[in-house]
Amino acid sequence: MRTAQDPLSRTFFALADPTRRAVLTRLAHGAATVKELSAPFRMSGPAVSKHLRVLERAGLIQRGRAAQWRPRTLEATPLREAAAFADEFRRFWEPNYAPLDGLLEVER
Amino acid sequence: MRTAQDPLSRTFFALADPTRRAVLTRLAHGAATVKELSAPFRMSGPAVSKHLRVLERAGLIQRGRAAQWRPRTLEATPLREAAAFADEFRRFWEPNYAPLDGLLEVER
DNA sequence: TTTGTATATAACCTTTAGGTTACCTACAAA
DNA sequence: TTTGTAGGTAACCTAAAGGTTATATACAAA
């Protein structure tokens, strides 16, 4: 992975790891400290820290601060473009899918 | 990227490169030979070949054969899970979005 | 003011990504 | 049956991913 990729590549790259996806899913339920985010995993603290940095570079999380804690929060907007890309292919896996304008044409 | 990841990670990893995304977009318009797929890029043949292998490992393309050509076709089904994952976060980037059951509750 | 806890950084290691050039194979056409 | 074209494979390189342990920093509490 040559770094300094375009934003969409960074987003998909960040999603290409189960640990990082689990972190995002956890954060969907609310902010969490690094300790809390690390809890489900067997890896060291620094390893989790690196995963968080990848998510941060992709703009998928933000870092807060409260005393000695640095709670992370979800920042989901980059996922919009990711979802949009995948959605372009929806008709291939969903045979009965018709894009919006086609649908309107039928219903009017 | 430790290889032999779960399918969803392989899918997202395959998407984490603009060349590979462009190949998928091209294939959405129909099958294409390796030569045709390579045309838009400045990189060598083997480099494109490796990208195709990544897409193949993710199950996103299939390899056909006709004389000396090995036309690739799109296989979009892995994108369904990718889209589903991103969609779980839709409410965060789309404030007025309500998941289906909530919507039904309002309309009935 | 020491001690414990939360987190980040540094230095290191192994494996892989992603590119290159050189070479090999399969097939079609002349 | 040589020659050209499509494509794959091998060997190589550099940079980065993703992990480790050790160390540093920041803050709270005793």
**What pLDDT shows up at residue A104?**
46
| A18-76 pLDDT per residue, tens | 999 999 999 999 999 999 999 999 999 999 999 999 999 999 999 999 999 999 999 99
Q: What is the structure's pLDDT at B107?
A: 46
Query: Within 7 Å: CB of A2 and strand C?
Result: yes
Q: In the structure, what pLDDT confidence band is assigned to residue B97 with cuts at 50, 70 and 90? A: confident
CA atoms within 13 A on the CB side of B16: 22
pLDDT tens for B13-68 read 999 999 999 999 999 999 999 999 999 999 999 999 999 999 999 999 999 999 99
Judged by C1' against the alpha carbon of A19, the nearest nucleotide is D18
Instruction: Please give the pLDDT value at position B100.
Output: 57
Secondary structure (DSSP) of A29-76: T--B-HHHHHTT--S-HHHHHHHHHHHHHTTSEEE--BTTB--EEE--
Could you tell me which of A41, A37, A84 has the C-alpha nearest to residue A56? A37
Interface check for A76 against chain B (CB to CB < 8 A): the answer is: yes
Cβ neighbourhood burial of B77 (10 Å; 0-12, 13-18, 19+): middle
Higher pLDDT pick, A105 / B50: B50
User: Which range, A2-11, A51-60, B97-106, has the best average confidence (pLDDT)?
Assistant: A51-60
Q: List chain B residues with CB under 8 Å of A80.
A: 93-94
B70 touches chain A (CB under 8 A): no
Residue B68 distance to chain A (closest CA, Å): 28
At residue A5 the predicted structure's pLDDT band, cuts being 50, 70 and 90, is confident
Tokens 């409260």 belong to A66
Q: Is the CB of A69 under 7 A from strand C?
A: yes
Q: Do A76 and B82 touch (CB under 8 A)?
A: no
Residues of B with Cβ-Cβ distance to A17 under 8 angstroms: 1, 5, 9
Is this structure's pTM higher than 0.85? yes
Residues of A in contact with B89 (CB under 8 A): 24, 28, 74, 76, 79
The number of C-beta contacts closer than 8 angstroms across A and B is 92
- Burial group, residue B29, by CB count within 10 angstroms (0-12, 13-18, 19+): exposed
Degrees to nearest 5, angle at CA A53 with A48 and A54: 100
